[in-house]
Amino acid sequence: MVFGVVVDTEKMPSEDSLRNLATRIWKDGNKQWKESTVFIYLPGMDTGMAAYGVAEFRPSGLKEFKIQEVALYGTKWGSSK
């Protein structure tokens, strides 16, 4: 199962808060799937492109969580460097 979520925020959320959000989504009745992935986007990001946060779950829980800074390129969240 794949979930895509856009976080309603005006400031950059912490990695821990995004990991906790993904875990809550998985725990809220979505544990029946052998594999679940949560793609996390920030406001204004194209949800058809790379996600900022990616969480992969198995029946035992979180397998991997990663932040993809490159996904912010071209958005208001991206570096101005």
Mean pLDDT by 10 residues, the chain (81 residues): 94 97 87 88 95 94 96 85 46
pLDDT for 56:
96
CB 23 within 8 A of CB 62: yes
pLDDT score, position 31: 67
Residue ranges of the domains in the chain?
Answer: 2-72
At 23, list the tokens: 């875990």
| CA of residue 54 relative to chain centroid, distance | 4
Given this model, what pLDDT does residue 54 score?
A: 98
Q: What is the pLDDT of residue 25?
A: 92
* pLDDT the model gives residue 81: 46
pTM (2 decimals)? 0.90
